[in-house]
Every structure is written in C-alpha cells, then in structure tokens.
Chain A
Amino acid sequence: MIPAAFDYYRPKDLPGVVALLQEHGDDARVMAGGHSLIPMMKLRMADVPHLIDMQDVDGMNGIYVGDTGVRIGAMTTQAELIDSAELADAAPILREAALQIADPQVRYMGTVGGNVANGDPGNDMPGLMQCFDATFTLFGPDGERTVPAREFYEAAYMTAREDDEVLTAVSFPTPAGGYAYEKQKRKIGDYATAAAAVQIVKDGGSCASASIAMTNLSDTPVFSEAAGAALVGTSVDGDAIRAAVAAMLNDIDPVDDNRGPVAFKNHVAGVILTRAIERAWSRA
C-alpha cells in the first residue's frame, strides 16, 4: 500500500491549478480531501505523477444560503455540511445524507467537490445533487461554465468535466417539501448497498411534485424521472408507491458484487425507496 512516486504541488489560486493541469495533462490530478484519491494511489490503481493539492486554493470554500438557492464551495467538507445550521434549515436532507457517509474521520477530510467530481457510483452526493437538480460550476482555461448534475455522469469515473477543469461549486434551488435520504449499508464506513434521495411537495392531500434519485445501483447515479412522476397527483398511497418503485427498477441496473446478487439489490432498492417515500411524505 505504497503509492508510486509523485510530484506535489500546492497552488494558491484557480488559474494556478488550471495551469498545472494544462502543463501535465493526463499525468496530473487535483486532490481535495484525498479520501478517494489517496487510497487509489496506494493501491496503485491511480497513477498520478503530478498531484495538485487544493487545500490552499482561494475561493472554493463556504456555504451560501440565499432566498431561493444554495451554493456550496467545492472544498467544503462533509463535516462542515453537517455543522451548518443554515443548511440544516434550508436543505435538511443534505445533513441527513452526509451523516450516513463513511465515518467522522473521513468526513473531516472528504469534500463535496471531491465527492461529486469523483464519479464513483458509490458516492452519495451525486444522487442527491440530481435529486435537487443541482448545477456544477467548472473552471477551466476558458473560464467558467456550468453543467446540470443530471447530465454530468457518463459512466463510472467518467464525467462531463474536462481533464483541465476544476469543479468549483455546486448550486441548487432551495429544496421544498418533505425529504428523506435512506441508505442501506453493511456497516459503518461502507458505501451503499442501495440508497434513495427523495424530495416531495404536498399540496392538500396529494403530491404536487416529487424528485427521486438512487445511489450505487448503476455505474452512475440514477435520477428516476418516471419514479417521481408516478407519485405526482396521487395521495402517495400503496399503489402509487408501488408504481414509483416499478418505474425506478426500470431505470437502475445493479451488478452482482460482495454486497449481494442483482435480485437482492433490486429488492432492497425497492424497499429503500418505499421507506424513503413514506418518510418524505410524512414530513411533507
């Protein structure tokens, strides 16, 4: 568990980061909290001759809660998310989800930006960001651009981010209604066997809108538009939930691994989503 040799850089600003990325191309990687990247380097599964540590880069921190939306700097740690009272108020699901990521030691280091940029289907934040319909801000040689979270993920570890771009922030409209982040895992510090992010808006006795995203059940996070649609206009009764689950199962594509065979994962995905919907609805 010893990484190969690498050069270490610690630039102070974003242009400095981008310059290094341009200079070294494929051979360079940015590091945020390092809690996904360093294990891969130690296993020699990631070859990173040039490692660019972003801890000193200005302007990538901070949580801004506005009237209509939230913006979180990429270098914000999971622990900071959990500790922010403002955020707990504006988007309580974020805290509920962050508390289910790894353990406190990992959360003190792991960042929001690293979690969403990584492209690991096991990460919890990407699905949540899709549930929010968040936007990712990328900074590259040509300046800033934004990409919707729902269009960002292409395959495992493959995203819309170019090699010479840095993800600087995530932004999303203040979520409305009831929420739930439900996650089944084998033990503390484990990635999800199945996880569901649900936001539901209630109008009278019926569902006005619903947003549903699933984690670690495909090679990317899965925003299931059809599952949400199955709830809209209903009283979120058993039939509606079953319809939402059926729609979700159409959208996911789990694989057999140490967490269990495909049939189990499909079953658990349904159970987890059912529980998330029920809990979100009860809070709506």
Chain B
Amino acid sequence: MKDEVTRDDRIAGLKGMGTSRKRVEDARFTQGKGNYVDDIKLDGMLFGDFVRSPYAHARVTNIDTSAAMEVPGVLAVLTAADLEPLGLHWMPTLAGDKQMVLADGKVLFQGQEVAFVIAEDRYAAADGIEAVVVDYEELPVITDPFESLKSDVVLREDLDPTADGAHGPRKHPNHIFTWEAGEKEATEQVIDAAEVVAEEMIYYHRTHPCPLETCGCVASMDKVNGKLTLWGTFQAPHAIRTVVSLISGIEEHNIRVISPDIGGGFGNKVGAYAGYVCSVVASIVTGKPVKWIEDRMDNLMTTAFARDYWMKGKIAATKEGKITGLWCHTTADHGGFDACADPTKFPAGFMNICTGSYDIPTAYLAVDGVYTNKAPGGVAYRCSFRVTEAAYFIERMIEVLAIELNMDAAELRRINFIKADQFPYQSALGWEYDSGDYHTAWDKALNAVGYDNLRREQAQMVEDFKSGKSRKLLGIGLCHFTEIVGAGPVKNCDILGLGMFDSCEIRIHPTGSAIARLGTISQGQGHATTFAQILASEIGLPADSITIEEGDTDTAPYGLGTYGSRSTPVAGAATAMAGRKIRAKAQMIAAYLLEVHDDDVEFDVDRFVVKGAPERFKTMKEIAFAAYNQAIPGIEPGLEAVSYYDPPNMTYPFGAYICVMEIDVDTGEHSIRQFYALDDCGTRINPMIIEGQVHGGLTEALAIAMGQEIAYDDMGNVKTGTLMDFFLPTAWETPHYTTDHTTTPSPHHPIGAKGVGESPNVGGVPAFSNAVHDAFRAFGLRQAHMPHDHWRVWKIANQLGLHG
C-alpha cells in the first residue's frame, strides 16, 4: 500500500523558506565549471591593458607610443588625447564627481591609468606597456587628509576652487563636501553639561574588498546591427547599462550588459572603471571584441578601496552610565577622485547609523570628504554604505566610555540599549529602526560564552602577568551592532538618479516549473538557491523546479543590483510580491476549475482547497497547466507576474558578537579561543546559507581588524600591493565560529526578512578589535588603531611598559 503523503511531507517537498537547502550553484563551482568573465573567449578577441603611473602625483608632459606600436601584436595605444574628441577622457563617478579615464595632463594616484594598449593577446599587451614612454614631472604628494585641507597644493586643478561640489559648498580646493546630520548646538550643550564625557579619535584604516576574481570585462560592438554587448564583473548590470548609454550616447536598447558568474564582489565591483570605458571604445575602434582583466596588483592598487575614516568622537553620559549625547566629526579620505558608491543624498553613506543599538536622545554628525593622492573609491566593503565605520565608531566609543566610567562594558551596553517596546524607534540622526529585541540577544550571548567566568579568568591572567608567571593576556571583545540595509526607498535613495527599487519577474511553465528573473546579481551569496525557496513557499511549486536567473539586462527586469545587503530586503520582497500575484491569479483559476466562488478556495502549501472540503483541491501544478491550456472565461491565458518593489523603509538586522582572544605580549601574536556570533536577520530563509555568510563575513572582519590594509608611504607608493603583504586569511588563520540566532521579523517586509550577508563584517570588526583593546584595558589602554598586526600589538604593549 502506498504511504499517505502528509501535509508535512508536502511542505518538506517544496524546500521552501526555513530549509537548509543545498546550494544549487555549488555543483558547478565545486567542479571548476563556473563561467567567469575571463572564461569568455570570442573569435578574434583582442586584449587591452593599462600603462599605469608609477607616481602618486605628477604632470604628464609627454606620451610616446611609437615604440609600443612596433611591438609585434600591438594594434593601437589609446591616450586621453584619443578619447577627448569622443568626450570620454573623463567619466562621471557614482558620487557626482568626475574621474579621468586616461591621464589628462596629470596623475593623482599611483597606478592611475595613463594609456590603454590594445593587442592580439595579453602577452603582447604587456610588452606594449613596457614600450610606452611617458614623461612625468613629479608634484608634491599628499597622503594625509588633514594636511590636504591645509595645503597650498591643489590636487584637482580641473575644478573651480570656489564652485560648489556635488554635495554643496567646498571649504578648500582639496575639500569635497561637508555632510551633517542631527542637532549640532543641542548636542554640544548636552556634552558641555554632561557629568561624564569620553573623547577619542578613532581611525578606521583604508583597506580593500579584494574579491578572489579581480575586475574585468569583454566589450563586443557588432557594427552590423549596432549592438554593444558588455560582459563584466558588475554588481549592478542595469545601472552599468544606463551609465554606458548616458556617456557613450548608444541607445539603451542597443546595449546588453551581462554579469556572468562573479567571484566575489564585496563592493569592489559596484562602480565604473576606466577599463570598461576603454574596452568599449577599443571594440568600437577595432570592430573586434576586446577583453580587459585586472591582475591582482591592479585590483589592490587602483580599484575601489574601503573605509579610511578618521572619526573624532565625544560621548556624554550620567555618572550611572546613561548616555545623553553623541558627537562625531569624520574626516573622510576619498583619494584623487570622489568615486564613493553611495546613494546620492548620502555622500557619507549611512554613517548616521552611528548611534548604533543605543537609545541616545541627542546626537550630531558631520563628515568632511577630502581629496588626497590615493586611489579613488570608498565602497561599502561587505557592508551597507559606511555602516561598518559607524558600527566600529560607536562600539569603540562605548568601550572608551566604559573605561571613563570604570564600568563593565557589557553592562554599559545593556543599560543603554533601545528597548523592545520602543520599536519602531526614531533615532536622533534620522532613522526609523523597524524592529529589534536587543536585550534578549545580549543576554543570550553573554550566557552562551559564560561571560562572568571569562571576566574572572581574565583578572587571574592579569594577576599572573603582573607576578611574572605568564606573558599572555586575555581580551574579551564585545559588540552589539545594528545594521541598516536594503537601500532603499526611492523617495530618498538613488544612485546617479536611478531609484533603488528592485524587481522580480516570474514565468510559470505549463507543467508546473518556473523561471524567475531578478534585477540583482549573485556574487557567491547563493541567490539561485534562496530566491527559489522564497517562491516555493509563496507559490507552492518545489524550489527544485524553479530556475533563478540574474545578470542579463536583455532578459532580467530592471534593478539596482547586489550590494549593501539589499538583495533579500528589496529583490527578495519583489520576489514574494510577484509570487503573490501569481497566487492571486491561480486562486481564480482554481475556483473556476473547482466550480466555486474565488473566495471559497484557500491556499494550502502547494494547492488551493475548497474551504471546509479539503478533499476538493487543485494543485499548483494542475493550475499551471490549466492556465495555459484551458479556456477560462474572463481570464487571460498564461501565468506570469512581475513586481517592482520600492521598500517603505530600510531593514535593521542586529547581532551580538563576542570574541575571546589571547595575546602574546612579547611577539604581538594573537590566538582566538572562541568566537560567538548571534545574528538576528528577521525571517531566516536558508539557515545553512546564513551560516555560510556569517562565516565568510567574520573571516573578512578578522582580516580587516588583524592585518589587512592598503598602506602608503610618504611618496604615495602603495606598500601592500600584493597578497604577500595584503592579508587575505586562509583556513589556517581562521578560528572556529559558533553561530546562533534570535528571530525578530521586519514588520514592513513581505516575508519579514532583513538581510544578513554583511552583518558579520559590520559586527565582527569591532568584536575582534575590542578584544585586543580589552586585553590591555587593565594596563591603561584606551585606543589603538587597527589593523592589529603583530608589530602594532607589540607597540601597544611596549608603550604601556609591558616589556620590562
């Protein structure tokens, strides 16, 4: 006898939301069968590469390409002079500034693109680069933003020094913008009147997203039909299509942008790079496809960096530790061009989330953007626009305040958390937090690690150190972060005027399988897995029968792409909404087939049933078939839907992280004994993917906190241009992570999901860094800048006199 199929079996068969469904992408990735940009090979394809400036600041007085043109295989060398007639020697940046595509008279950072060599293969291109002779006249180099604002050296001679920038008045030729949030006077009054004030300068150093796959593209102009196809490592293919159209004049329907498999993005692949423009021009000029692929040094030295924020803070509190006000002034080093990737109205991103998880009644933030002789960028490296900086700032300020108050930092957090019944919560800097339950998460975390015992053990280790029994110290790194993700509501979020909605289009096939296309693009997040799960739960077809496709602008609906943890909050919502449209039509079809009124059927897992008569039903599979093959009065054939979702608000994931770290006072080495990460990302779509995202984000956080940086010397030379010096952790350096969760759904999101990919980076960096600081708290340390590599940790100990 056949076993009865239960309702639970039917639910399980869908592999819908809440299931740890295995990633469908991994079959090809684990077999090395992914299809990345550099895997694309077209007939007659040429290869382009850049002559780059060895200097950080110099005039380019002459470029002699004649010897390069003699190199076998070299076909052409483009310079700014060649691009100028097309108006393409400069390009707009995402931040409302403009940037040289090829050096137009001067260079502003080491590695800047000077000429583009087009050759039959990449070997000939490399030889061609060697043969281009460029005459430089060195100029004074500025690598410090504070010095830049005082200097007579004007970096951007192309700008009218007195004219406003894209974000208002400029105070100095090297100044880009001032951006403010909150109440200046009120905050200063609170601070002046406060019982206790802690003040500190917190530097979040410059680093780089360093995706395993570097940036690149293949441009192919078909002169017969006038169509341009551009494959590239784009996190936002539709935005790239629009930008290419705007700057090239090619109509948008004649441009097809394709993001194939992408080997990690982390913000690095959001912006537009000179390589894209030059490849397109080269393809138009030669009539052949042109490929451009960065090498690792190009990627680290010239493409979008992250952070580089100098954050001066003051935090005021009562003697009992109740925070009364927060003040922050940030000096933001944006490099030679302002190519930050932020929504237009937010030139410092969402830095105004810097009140964090705390109920701070009064606050003020000002950010000054500054030009220096460093690479442009300023992207959200695995975070939503500048949220890592904000989280690091407040989580350090809390620790400094705890020192000032001589209080336990866990307790200080607890007494200042926004309470569960205060949500939706209006922050002093202008956000409406959607939901949260911080106290529950915090207590769960402290219990899980045995917080009180750890403090006792730490005190014992301090004793042992002082008495000469041991040379190790223990740090307990605390962090409670609140993220702001899912940009965002079109009323206040756009990039280059493009509203930040997102989209999903679904087609159900007659036999009950489906394809859904989205405006986002996975770079490793597993969209093909999770979005199918959302749909499975919404429309009652198995996730395994649903194909998810992204990244081809000819087929996918318009969307703003994937970064800032926006895919689930925005495109995930669009997916659910489109699914609901499918379901609404399916309901009408089911009612017709069952010969009842529409309102007399209800959805149940994978079917519509007649209310009160569960034996009378039509499965979604049957409904799909009928939708195409049965004439139903008053209903069009087919079963398709599209949704463009404009979110009403951001979502606010949060988490409680604790890092327990031992430090060798003599060598500066560390070892992480325990790392506990509790994440609340609202409704959990695929717990296994969440765990994977948390592991990945924490490992990048470890890298940033403990060693990763883009460092410059005084001449503006990049000191960390290879993976020998730029720290990319392997399994060897990566500790074991314990993950945990609470679930506080977002009230405004159709499925209550908030996004999680970036939380671990936002919360991880303060947890690692606070552990280092905490280890030395007993000896008087207040603030030591990251990265906490061996010599810098050693320096902390040395300056505290711990080396005897």
Judge whether B794 and A188 touch: CB under 8 Å: no
Judge whether B130 and A44 touch: CB under 8 Å: yes
Which among B295, B733, B791 has the highest number of chain A CB atoms within 10 Å?
Answer: B791
Q: Which residues of A contact B791 (CB under 8 A)?
A: 259-261, 264
Q: Which residues of A contact B794 (CB under 8 A)?
A: 260, 264, 267-268
B767-792 toward A: CB 8 Å interface, digit per residue (1/0)? 00000000000000000000001110
Which among B122, B296, B667, B795 has the highest number of chain A CB atoms within 10 Å?
Answer: B667
Judge whether A260 and B790 touch: CB under 8 Å: yes
Does residue B740 face the partner (Cβ distance < 8 Å to A)? no
B615-658 toward A: CB 8 Å interface, digit per residue (1/0)? 00000000000000000000000000000000000000000000
Q: Which residues of B contact A259 (CB under 8 A)?
A: 790-791
What total count of A-B pairs have CB within 8 Å? Answer: 65
Judge whether A1 and B297 touch: CB under 8 Å: yes
Q: Which residues of A contact B790 (CB under 8 A)?
A: 184, 186, 193, 259-260, 264, 268
Given known A-B contacts A1-B295, A260-B790, A260-B794, A271 and B666 have beta carbons under 8 A apart: yes
Closest A residue by C-beta to B707: A186
Q: Which residues of A contact B297 (CB under 8 A)?
A: 1
Chain A nearest Cβ from B74, distance in angstroms = 13
Bound-state CA distance A189–B789 (Å) is: 16
Chain B nearest Cβ from A125, distance in angstroms = 19
Q: Which residues of A contact B730 (CB under 8 A)?
A: 103, 187-189
Q: Which residues of B contact A26 (CB under 8 A)?
A: none
A180-195: which have CB < 8 Å to B? Answer: 184, 186-191, 193
Of A4, A187, A189, A271, which one neighbours B127 at CB under 8 angstroms? A4
Chain B nearest Cβ from A49, distance in angstroms = 13
Closest B residue by C-beta to A191: B724
B264-320: which have CB < 8 Å to A? Answer: 295-297
A248-272 toward B: CB 8 Å interface, digit per residue (1/0)? 0000000000111101100110011
Q: Is the interface of B mostly helix, strand, loop or mixed?
A: loop
Does residue B201 face the partner (Cβ distance < 8 Å to A)? no
Judge whether A258 and B725 touch: CB under 8 Å: yes
Judge whether A188 and B733 touch: CB under 8 Å: yes
B120-149: which have CB < 8 Å to A? Answer: 122-123, 125-127, 130
Chain B nearest Cβ from A184, distance in angstroms = 6
Bound-state CA distance A71–B711 (Å) is: 44
Bound-state CA distance A171–B327 (Å) is: 67
Q: Which residues of A contact B127 (CB under 8 A)?
A: 4-5
Chain A nearest Cβ from B81, distance in angstroms = 26
Does residue B736 face the partner (Cβ distance < 8 Å to A)? no
Judge whether B727 and A4 touch: CB under 8 Å: no
Does residue B729 face the partner (Cβ distance < 8 Å to A)? yes
Does residue B720 face the partner (Cβ distance < 8 Å to A)? yes
Does residue B602 face the partner (Cβ distance < 8 Å to A)? no
Judge whether A187 and B729 touch: CB under 8 Å: yes
Judge whether A186 and B727 touch: CB under 8 Å: yes
B690-739: which have CB < 8 Å to A? Answer: 707, 711, 719-720, 724-725, 727, 729-730, 732-733
Closest A residue by C-beta to B792: A260
Chain B nearest Cβ from A270, distance in angstroms = 9
Judge whether A187 and B667 touch: CB under 8 Å: no
A189-208 toward B: CB 8 Å interface, digit per residue (1/0)? 11101000000000000000
Does residue B213 face the partner (Cβ distance < 8 Å to A)? no
Q: Which residues of B contact A187 (CB under 8 A)?
A: 707, 727, 729-730, 732-733
Judge whether B667 and A268 touch: CB under 8 Å: yes
Does residue B544 face the partner (Cβ distance < 8 Å to A)? no
Chain B nearest Cβ from A104, distance in angstroms = 11
Does residue B669 face the partner (Cβ distance < 8 Å to A)? yes
Chain A nearest Cβ from B137, distance in angstroms = 24
Q: Which residues of B contact A4 (CB under 8 A)?
A: 126-127, 130
Does residue B673 face the partner (Cβ distance < 8 Å to A)? no
Bound-state CA distance A271–B733 (Å) is: 22
Does residue B803 face the partner (Cβ distance < 8 Å to A)? yes
Chain B nearest Cβ from A182, distance in angstroms = 10
B578-598 toward A: CB 8 Å interface, digit per residue (1/0)? 000000000000000000000
Bound-state CA distance A261–B668 (Å) is: 13
A1-35 toward B: CB 8 Å interface, digit per residue (1/0)? 11011000000000000000000000000000000
Bound-state CA distance A282–B446 (Å) is: 41
Chain A nearest Cβ from B54, distance in angstroms = 13
Q: Which residues of B contact A186 (CB under 8 A)?
A: 707, 727, 789-790
Given known A-B contacts A4-B127, A260-B790, A271-B666, A190 and B733 have beta carbons under 8 A apart: no
Bound-state CA distance A18–B539 (Å) is: 74
Q: Which residues of B contact A190 (CB under 8 A)?
A: 724
Judge whether B733 and A2 touch: CB under 8 Å: no
Judge whether A267 and B803 touch: CB under 8 Å: yes
Q: Which residues of B contact A184 (CB under 8 A)?
A: 667, 669, 790
Q: Which residues of B contact A5 (CB under 8 A)?
A: 123, 127
Closest B residue by C-beta to A193: B790
Chain A nearest Cβ from B393, distance in angstroms = 27
A38-59: which have CB < 8 Å to B? Answer: 44
Q: Known contacts A2-B122, A188-B732, A188-B733; can you find 16 more A-B pairs with CB under 8 A? A: A1-B295, A1-B296, A1-B297, A2-B126, A5-B123, A5-B127, A44-B130, A184-B667, A187-B730, A188-B730, A258-B720, A259-B790, A260-B789, A261-B791, A264-B790, A267-B666
Subset of 5 A-B contacts with CB under 8 Å? A186-B707, A187-B733, A259-B790, A267-B798, A271-B666
Among all A-B residue pairs, the 5 with the closest Cβ atoms: A260-B791, A2-B126, A188-B732, A264-B791, A1-B295
